[in-house]
Structure 1
Amino acid sequence: MSETRILTLVGSLRAGSINRRLAEAAARTAPAGVDIALYEGLAEIPFYNEDLDVPGAVPAQAEALRAAVAAADAVLVVTPEYNGTLPAVLKNAIDWASRPYGTGALKDKPVAVVSASISPNAAAWAHGDVVKAIGVAGGAVVESASARFAGIGERFGQTHPAEDAEALTQLGATVHELVAAANGTLISA
């Protein structure tokens, strides 16, 4: 069996982001035969503009994102909540990966969403907006692979999520479900 490739898109650009650390912890839960890579470079992708999305002239950063999504067997999205919704950088990545409409790199790709916030709502609004945007973009959201983390400032302010057994269990379950969906072995409830 070939290796399963999961591409992770993190909605926070901050180097010390807890959302980024959750993505790193998720990567540590990958079983043998699964490669989880964090996509670097979301900040360099220009805002989606159909005038820029012209065959042969698509910005290199957007082409690189599309190629990375296309090469992945599944996508893991880790999102904070900014002003009650998903970060613009993440929405922009979804927009670029969704094009050309109907055949974009996200088309039918299994996607899991992990949301995290300092608030008690665990970034529920951002989570819902990512699920909606991925669905409209043609991605296959794996709801059973969802994970939500609340109060992350207190919970992970002094320790890495990889040092939190409960977080690792949740993230491991997310990865397991996403791998099953990518390999066509997910059993619906």
Structure 2
Amino acid sequence: MTMKLLALSGSTRRDSWNTRLLHAAAAAAPAGAEVARAPDLAALPHFSEDIEAEAFARGPVATFVAAVHAADVLLVATPEYNQSIPGTLKNALDWLSRGADADRLAGKPVAVAGATVGPWGTRLAQAHLRHVLGVIGLRVVGPGLFVAGAASRWEAETGRWDDALQVRLQAWLHEVAAAAGAV
């Protein structure tokens, strides 16, 4: 049986380090796992109870929530904005926490990663993200993947991360798949 992983980038930037990290994760997925890209978070409206019923019935929120529910495991890569997660990612998580099917998320495995040009590798953003994920009932599995100095680790000529990071990424994915499969 194929394990379905959904790659969710917390960045909407065109050349996002985090989106690149998830693309590399898709290419490094272990045997028996396939990685799909989550719908664009920028398409989600700001959460509001005033539009909640309609948003869950159709449109980008319904599409996003269905993709999350269909996945066996979520892979979330977050940038760090002002020592926390971006508002776009928080908005997506707020949508997930609502609706008639929100309880279906209880215990769903999620792995956390992040890449930044700075020296800390999104450590504070990942801590905040883990907190929010736990509050909405998701189960964080595997270790976090912290990528500091992303600009110096990306090889523009090859369109790949450096070899050491590629090895770390592959090992991280195997740990995540093993932890998620152990449920």
Asked if TM exceeds 0.5, the reply is yes
Alignment of 1:145-164 (within 5 A): 145-156=143-154, 158=156, 162-164=160-162
Structure 1 position 165, deviation (Å): 1.8
Fraction of identical pairs, as percent: 38
Preserved CA contact (<8 Å) 2:77 2:112: yes
Q: Gaps (5+ residues) in structure 1?
A: none
Quickly say closer, same or farther: Cα 1:151–1:160, change in 2 above 3 A: farther
- 149-158 or 41-50, which moves further after superposition? 149-158
- 40-49 or 150-159, which moves further after superposition? 150-159
Q: Gaps (5+ residues) in structure 2?
A: none
Alignment of 1:133-172 (within 5 A): 133-142=132-141, 144-156=142-154, 158=156, 162-172=160-170
- Deviation per residue, 1:25-81 (Å, 9 max, x gap): 111111222110111321101011122222786451111111001000000000111
Q: Which amino acid aligns with 1:139?
A: L
How many residue pairs match? The answer is: 183
Equivalent in the alignment of 2:23: 24
Preserved CA contact (<8 Å) 2:9 2:77: yes
Equivalent in the alignment of 1:175: 173
Aligned-residue RMSD, C-alpha: 2.2
Preserved CA contact (<8 Å) 1:79 1:87: yes
Equivalent in the alignment of 2:122: 123
Structure 1 position 163, deviation (Å): 4.2
TM-score (norm 2): 0.90
SS in 1 for 2:53: coil
